[in-house]
Structure 1
Amino acid sequence: MENPIYVVTQSRDVSGYLPEHWQTYETINSLRNGRKKLRNNKPAMVVLCIGSDDDIHLGQEIARYVREGMANRDTRIVLLHDPAQQLDEVAWLEEFQINACLTADPARHQFNRSVLNRELDTFSYIENNYRQHDAETEMLVCITRFSRADENITTLLSTFAETLAKLCHAACHFEIYIEMESRYRVRNRDTSQKHLAEQMQAIVANGQLPACLSQAIAEQKPQINLLQDNGEIDALLARVETSVGSYLTFPIVVYNRVICLLFFLIPEAEMARVSMKQINIINKAAEQLTVLLERKQAESSLKKQYTRLKDTLLELKSTKQALAHNEKLASIGRMAAGIAHEINNPLSFVISNFTSMDSYLDNIIKLQEMQSELLTSIDIQQDQKATALKQHLAEFEEQAGIEFILEDIRAIVADSFNGLQRVKNIITDLSSFSHNYEGQKEKIDISVVLSDTLKMLRYDLADKVTVKQDIRFDKAFYSNAGLMEQVLINLIKNALQALVDAGTETPEIAIGAEESADGLKLTVRDNGPGMTEAVKAKIYDPFFTTKGVGEGTGLGLSVVYNIVQRLGGKIECESQLGQFTRFTLTFPLAQPEEE
């Protein structure tokens, strides 16, 4: 029993104390037994039947335990004493806080019944107020939890529905979700009411809602009405265990659209307990819930928009950097095309003339040899004129430094040729910016490409650096062998120059190739001086170099970047100052589509 009635007495027979057929009760005849029972249940009433001194002592101890030991002010304590037993009723009222003092006289049984029932009604009223207050508090707390909870809306609405069911003393309740026009889904977390939920689903399955539900959707406000006898939900009412007297329909509205209906069936016996205060609380709850759900949906929408905006900004930033670099390359390309056109023609003419110049030098040397022979012949004939000519030529040869000129002229020609060849190499690098074609792709072997590259660089590398290879890629892939060789040459030369300039004690270049998730991963690493972050940020900029004037063009890595982009690859640079620099190139393995 939720709130039992206890009769406290030492006597086995209490028929003379209580009205006949009054209420069901339990007897307490000892303090120990009484405390145990009182601890386990909150009693609605404790009747102290006093007929002896032992009853007085037991009654006082029980009353004191209820009021002080349990701090219970709600349980009704009624003193019912034998007329022959004289008691100080005022002392009992003040000290033990009993609620009524009655005389166990058969003539007063009707009056005693009335008083006892009134006290029970008082206890019920107090308990109902407590329950009502708890239900109201729980509902308001539930709404507040909406603003902080991370659960989805369905879970939150189920919790709210259960709380509201307690507030309005509902026999059963349902969540009816409006998934789309004329389509509804019924839900109830209480497994004991599964059969009722299935019946409700059958009622709304045809898309036609009962009037008690459609009215709530039309007005978008909670509806509390007497149940209409129109037969629309008779099949459901027939399966409810209690007699239903009214219903509550609570629409969940978000941005002027009903997304869910909370439907409650209130038993006829509980209708008197649903007051205007509850109706006002329900209406306020509806307003707060609408505001919170709209805010939650707005926050969700804002979060999604923020995520999309963040991704878009990152994409725009990446695109901006790529466009800026491409624009820079395009500008350099246009400039390079003009430079190449203006310089290439005279340069080709000058280079082609070196063959003739070499022939001219042979003739000059031959002429000088013939002059020497002539002078020798003249000297033999002892001709006076020849003697003067010989003297004149000897003086001229000494004055003009012919011997020095003949020794130095080939060195001058060699230096000029090297200088012109350097100009030609610069123009070749510049021209790579103006070429938009990728070059014909074919199936190549990276180990063969690397071997050919190292053969071309064998005189440059010589004994200056140790080259280590770690080739763990034995597949053929589609690329341009010539462009791949140019990339490797530039990277290896760049590493070699850094090692030589830094004077690294044991210079080493490590070249590796392996398959990764993105394709072929190619690495070139040196143990040189490394780079600062400021230098690393500019290494792909055309004409940027850390070398002195005349020692570097600043185009090597720019050419590498341009070629890698054309081949559909990616290039990354890692460097630690004073430790190493590593370039990682990634190329796709897929065969290009045939046009």
Structure 2
Amino acid sequence: MMNSTLPQIAMIYTNAPSELAEFVPESLDIHYYSSVKKLKKALRSNTPEKIFFHIIDAQSESDSIEIVDYVRTALASHSSTLVIFVSDTVSTTPSQIMNKADVDDVIRLNKEDTTFVQRKIARIIKRIIINKKHLMEKDAQVNMLTSVNRFSHQRQNIQALIASYAEALLQFCGGHSGLVVTPAKVTSVQTSQPSISQSQLDTVDDDTKQYIINLALQCKAPVVNLSPELEAMQALIEILPNPVASYLVFPLIVYNNNLASIICFISEDALDSVSTTQLNVMRDASLQLKIILERRFAESRMATHYQRLKETLAELQTTQNHLIHAEKMASVGHMAAGIAHEINNPLAFVISNFDPLDHYVETLISMVDLHEQLIQSINEIEQPVNQKLTQSIQSFKQTSEIDFVTEDIKALVHDSKEGLLRVRDIISDLGSYSRKESLENQLLNLSEVISETVRMLKYELSDEVEVQLLIDSDIQITSHKGFIQQILANLVKNAIQAHATSDKQTQQKIIKVEVTEKTECVLINVSDNAGGIPEKSRKHVFDPFFTTKDVGKGTGMGLSVCSNLAKKMHGTLTLAPMEESNDLDTTFTLKLPKQVGDE
């Protein structure tokens, strides 16, 4: 539906314009040229769709052929229509000229049949106009479809894309004014042609705007109203730059919802070119836009969901790290009573040592005073006094058991030092275990790590339970110390608790920690002979919140957390089948790669 008002400009090369006057239509906007150079200059600036040449002699024939060749070759213009008029006085025939020049037509100006020549020229001009019209329609169609593709290829704001498409659609349908209508507002389509401005549109009353919104948003497919009732929108019609004979409503549908609608107002002279083909093109464009918009909205939602999932995963990771540390701190809480007892034992005998130490120190001070007096009397050479002091020293030495004091004070100091060192080691082990370490791996000596862990749990062991460590002192791996300690502490503590609650009668209660070195990995087995885990419970031991302990005595998170820690170190934590535990009842195997990434 293109506008039929097209410019009719023509260039004519002639040396006798008066001869052409009776043949060329007066409606043409004609520019005459008699100079080849001036015509070529004009053609470089603007090549019109119609160029006529007037041959009246051999020179004008040569010049015309030269200009034709210049247009077709130098300017590479094949869309311009080139027509040669041949005067009656020229002997060259039209067919001969057609063989020499790449022109669309050659017309001999027969003055005896002027009407025939005029009609032929009019037909040529009409054909040019129709071709130009089809070309403009094709350009408008390409422009509209390109605007459709921008919705998928460009990440512009959706409102900007709709405005761009509305302008292309307005050109395609030959409309003079357009509106973009959403459920919230009505905006004008800004074009290079005179149209309604947004400030003019703002003056329209709210009732008229609401009518337009209802009219536009109820459409589900492109529709042209050829006999519209304009009374309800008269306030809008009055401010449009041209009269309205029809209007097009083009909806943008997303998931059966009208995202927005474009209204194009069409004048009377543009209705003559209403085409079913163009309506079909618009329907196809509407369907394509629907697919593109739905895909774009789906991608947007997917991106939003992906970001939310990413944030949730990060939160879960943080929560998991907190849970791991919380499980460790829960173990520390359970250890607190035993640790207090373990620290109180060395502190008690250290404190009790200070009473005799205080007495011993006073004794030694008195002994030193006596010796000082003796030395002073010797210096004064008073024999009776010397003898008396010597007797006093011997007597004090016997009554205070000075030899025993000097011997026992060394033992007291040594025992006190050992007790304080024991307190230091307990606090150090507890601090090392409970510290929230980073996830960095380090080279570890497994013998030292396991010994330190078992030593920390020694206070929970009764005299009836024997812990056996079968570890090669040279085994080293690169892994996470804190994770390994937390897993081993949990497994050993479970074994201790299993012995405490077991009804099994055994000569010796055993917890065995054994390390086996393989080519690419190490296996750490923690076993006990406390009666084993019931078959129905074995497949659930690593499930979160599963516990066989009484209510309030276990969270059921210990082994689940340990399993996740093993996976973090690229290893596994498994419960061996009962038949593989040999003479023991329960065996947990922690399998770890020697180097991170090996397993």
Q: Given the two structures, how large is their TM-score scaled by the length of structure 1?
A: 0.60
* Partner amino acid, structure 2, of 1:205: D
CA displacement at 1:416 relative to structure 2: 0.9
Which of 38, 42, 65 matches 1:33?
Answer: 38
Instruction: State whether residues 48 and 79 of structure 1, in contact with CA within 8 Å, keep that contact through their aligned partners in structure 2.
Output: yes
1:206 aligns to what? 207
Which residue number corresponds to residue 186 of structure 2? 185
Counterpart of 1:261, as a letter, is S
CA apart distance, 1:161: 1.4
Hey, what's the Cα distance between the residues in 2 that align with 1:342 and 1:255?
Answer: 71
Contact 2:11/2:31 (8 A) holds in 1: yes
Give secondary structure in 1 for the equivalent of 2:252: strand
Label 1:100 to 1:356 Cα distance change in 2 as closer, same or farther (>3 A): closer
**Aligned-residue offset at 1:106:** 4.1
1:151 is aligned to: 156
In structure 2, the residue matched to 1:47 is: 52
Q: Secondary structure at the match of 2:19?
A: coil
2 CA distance for matches of 1:207 and 1:15? 56
Give the equivalent residue in structure 2 for 1:242. Answer: 242
Matched, 1:123 2:128: yes
Which string of whole-angstrom CA distances, capped at 9 and with x for unpartnered residues, describes residues 523-559 of structure 1?
xxxxxxxxx9967977998999xxxxxxxxxxxxxxx
**Residue 340 to residue 8, structure 1, CA distance change in 2 (3 Å):** same
Tell me the residue number matched to 1:412.
Answer: 411
Q: CA deviation at 1:335?
A: 0.6
With over 3 angstroms needed to count, the CA separation of the structure-2 counterparts of 1:14 and 1:414, relative to structure 1, is same
- Between the aligned partners of 2:101 and 2:238, the Cα distance in structure 1 is 50
1:18 pairs with 2:18: no
Aligned 1:338-487 pairs, distance under 5 A: 338-341=338-341, 344=344, 346-347=345-346, 349-351=348-350, 353-355=352-354, 357-358=356-357, 407-425=406-424
Q: What SS does structure 2 have at the residue aligned with 1:228?
A: coil
Q: Which amino acid aligns with 1:59?
A: S
Question: Aligned in 2, Cα 1:21/1:421: closer, same or farther, shift over 3 Å?
Answer: closer
State the alpha-carbon separation in 2 of the partners of residues 359 and 93 from structure 1.
136
Alignment partner, residue 452 of structure 1: none
Name the SS for the 2:240 alignment partner.
coil
Q: 1:94 to 1:340 in 2, by over 3 A?
A: same
Q: How does 1:510-525 map to 2 (within 5 A)?
A: none
User: In structure 2, do the counterparts of structure 1 residues 186 and 359 end up closer, same or farther at CA, with 3 Å as the change threshold?
Assistant: closer
Query: Which residue of 2 is the match for residue 391 of structure 1?
Result: none
Letter in 1 for 2:247: Y
1:166 to 171, 188, 201: 171
Q: Which residue of 2 aligns with 1:323?
A: 323
Amino acid at match of 2:175: A
Partner residue of 1:225?
225
Query: Cα distance 1:361–1:69, how it changes in 2: closer, same or farther (>3 A)?
Result: closer
TM-superposed deviation, 1:132: 2.0
What amino acid maps onto 1:236 in structure 2? L
1:56 to 2:57 alignment: no
SS at match of 2:156: coil
Flag the 1:202–1:257 CA change in 2: closer, same or farther, 3 A: farther
SS of residue paired to 2:18? coil
Decide whether the 8 Å contact of 1:4 with 1:42 is kept in 2. Answer: no
Shift in Å, 1:264: 1.0
SS in 2 for 1:63: helix
- The answer on whether the counterparts of 2:196 and 2:240 sit within 8 Å (CA) in structure 1 is no
Other structure's SS at 2:182 match: strand
Deviations 1:3-40 (A, max 9, x none): 52122211252356525745331111121111122222
Which ranges of structure 1 fall in alignment gaps of 5 or more residues?
366-401, 436-486, 488-531, 545-595
User: What per-residue deviation string (whole Å, max 9, x for no partner) do you get for residues 484-519 of structure 1?
Assistant: xxx9xxxxxxxxxxxxxxxxxxxxxxxxxxxxxxxx
SS in 1 for 2:180: strand
Corresponding residue for residue 520 of structure 1: none
Q: How far apart are the structure 1 equivalents of 2:158 and 2:362?
A: 101
Is 63-72 or 304-313 further displaced after alignment? 63-72
Q: In structure 2, do the counterparts of structure 1 residues 308 and 359 end up closer, same or farther at CA, with 3 Å as the change threshold?
A: closer
Aligned to 1:81: 86
1:113 equivalent in alignment to 2:134: no
Q: In 1, are the aligned partners of 2:190 and 2:197 still within 8 Å (CA)?
A: no
2:313 maps to: 313
Q: Which residue of 1 aligns with 2:582?
A: none
* In 1: Cα distance, 2:210 partner to 2:169 partner: 22
Instruction: Give, as a single letter, the amino acid of the residue that structure 2 aligns with 1:234.
Output: Q
> 1:301 is matched by which residue type in structure 2?
R
- Cα distance in 2 for partners of 1:359, 1:17 equals 144
Q: Which amino acid aligns with 1:411?
A: K
Gaps (5+ residues) in structure 2?
Answer: 1-5, 365-400, 436-476, 490-599
Q: Distance in 1 between matches of 2:272 and 2:338?
A: 98
> How far off its partner does 1:272 sit?
3.0
Amino acid at match of 1:412: A
- Aligned CA RMSD, in angstroms, stands at 4.1
Aligned position for 1:255: 255
* Of 422-431 and 8-17, the range deviating more from structure 2: 422-431
Deviations 1:136-162 (A, max 9, x none): 222222222222212110111111112
2:138 to 133, 142, 162: 133
In structure 1, C-alpha distance between the alignment counterparts of 2:112 and 2:171, rounded to whole Å:
44
Q: Report the 3-state secondary structure (helix = DSSP H, G, I; strand = E; otherwise coil) of the residue aligned with 1:46.
A: strand
Conserved? CA contact 2:224–2:248, under 8 Å:
yes
Q: Within 2, Cα distance between the matches of 1:171 and 1:142? A: 19
Q: Is the 8 A contact 1:19 1:109 kept in 2?
A: no
**Identity of paired residues, percent?**
22
Task: Give the Cα separation in 1 of the matches to 2:85 and 2:220.
Answer: 56
- How far apart, in 1, do the equivalents of 2:322 and 2:128 lie? 80
- Is it true that 1:5 corresponds to 2:7 in the alignment? no
Partner deviation per Cα, 1:73-124 (whole Å, 9 max, x = no partner): 3333333333233221111223324334434344422222221121111112
Distance 2:85 2:357 in 1: 144
Give, in whole Å, the separation in 2 of the partners of 1:281 and 1:328: 69
User: Partner amino acid for 1:116?
Assistant: I
Supply the distance in 2 between the matched residues of 1:129 and 1:88 (Cα, whole angstroms).
33
